[in-house]
Amino acid sequence: MILVFGGALFYTQVLNDDQPEKFTLSEVEPSSSPAGSAPAAVSDAASSSASSPAAAAGLNGGWTVGADSLVGYRVKEILVGLESQAVGRTSDVTGELTVTGDSVTAAKFTADLTTVKSDKSQRDGQFRGRIMDTGTHPTATFVSTEPIPVPAGAVSGQKFTSTVTGDLTLRGVTKSVTFDLNGQKKGPGFELVAQIPIVFADFDIPNPSGGPAQVGDDGILEVQLNLAPKD
């Protein structure tokens, strides 16, 4: 028993130290340009909403998922009474959104769940098989169903938070979800971060518990998107 407890303690306090941190916005210097200043060129679509800071800053139009975007999960595990975390992620993320006036009017994103990886190959096998059945349901998708506000401060690089509502599909089950999206302008693009609570039963996801590791009834869907202007 002592050996089992000692092994669990080593696992949770040493091996678990290597788990990735939660996604957070990076530190970026705010733009020195006034929020309402117009760029050298503004699209025709933006001209109809010139009173909007987003339109005046030339944000109207399409934005697409760029490099270094990640989607994954974070789940609490209990091993011999000690708590640790399981984290898996994939960079195979695609999607785009459209800004019109002072809001995002359409957004759709897809993550390839067949390439999600954690620090344990056994856990990854369980994730792709029994838990998420990626052979039948290889992707997770999110489609917005309500406009997403673009705060005035977003155009000058200030960090902002917007409420997002849309349809999330996991393991072939689609549910409406509402969550906070944190973001900021970063260079020519945008950086967006979200932590979306997931109750496994809502999406017909089997409880991930296996072997000595026990998992609760819920987890977090983690999202980090870097958006670039669409060509």
> HEC profile for 165-229?
EEEEEECCEEEEEEEEEEEEEECCEEEEEEEEEEEHHHHCCCCCCECCEEECCEEEEEEEEEEEE
CB 160 within 8 A of CB 191: no
Q: Give the gyration radius of the chain's Cα atoms.
A: 20
Residues of the chain with confidence (pLDDT) below 70? 1-17, 28-58, 211
pTM: 0.81
Question: pLDDT tens across 145-194, in order?
Answer: 999 999 888 877 789 999 999 999 999 999 999 999 999 988 889 999 99
Q: Which helix (H) or strand (E) segment is 77 a member of?
A: strand 70-79
What integer pLDDT is reported at residue 57 of this predicted model? 61
CA distance 90 to 45: 34
Q: Which of 35, 94, 29 is nearest to 59 (CA)?
A: 35
CA distance 87 to 22: 9
CA distance 185 to 228: 10
Question: pLDDT tens across 2-18, in order?
Answer: 333 334 444 444 445 57
What integer pLDDT is reported at residue 182 of this predicted model? 96
Q: Which helix (H) or strand (E) segment is 141 a member of?
A: strand 139-144
